Amino acid sequence: MCPARTLRPLRIASGAEAASLVLLLANLATVHARPLSALLGPLHGTAYLAVIALTWLLPPPLPPGVRWRALVPGVGGLLVLRRTDGTDSTDSSDSTDSADGASVATKR
């Protein structure tokens, strides 16, 4: 699990990436205002590249495949955050066995 301090810029960039994609698609589906597209397009591209760069700069150890998830356009940052927030590849105490024998993840 990465410290919150190292994930904060990634959270901001992934939020900007996802929000700008939603706004771009909403604009496309409704009025298709060119000035809005001209503003949101570069914002989305910059956020996408920032997510990729910030993900590749995360300190190891990381769960398998985390860095490659950043390459998914639009939601890659959210996928990375989902994978890095709740798991720690070096600590096995995050899961406990339930009564039926299935492994259940617990949040701390």
DSSP code of residue 79: H
pLDDT at 95: 46
Amino acid 22 reads: V
Please classify residue 87 by burial: count the beta carbons closer than 10 Å to its beta carbon, then call 0-12 exposed, 13-18 middle and 19+ buried.
Answer: middle
Summarize pLDDT for 1-20 with one digit per residue, the tens. Answer: 566 777 999 999 999 999 99
- Label the pairing between strands 95-97 and 103-105: antiparallel
Distance CA 50, CA 36 (A): 21
Angle at 56 between CA 55 and CA 57, to 5 degrees: 90
Question: Which regions of the chain are under pLDDT 50?
Answer: 87-98, 108
Angle at 82 between CA 79 and CA 86, to 5 degrees: 155
| H helix runs in the chain, sequence order | 4-29, 34-56, 66-69, 76-85
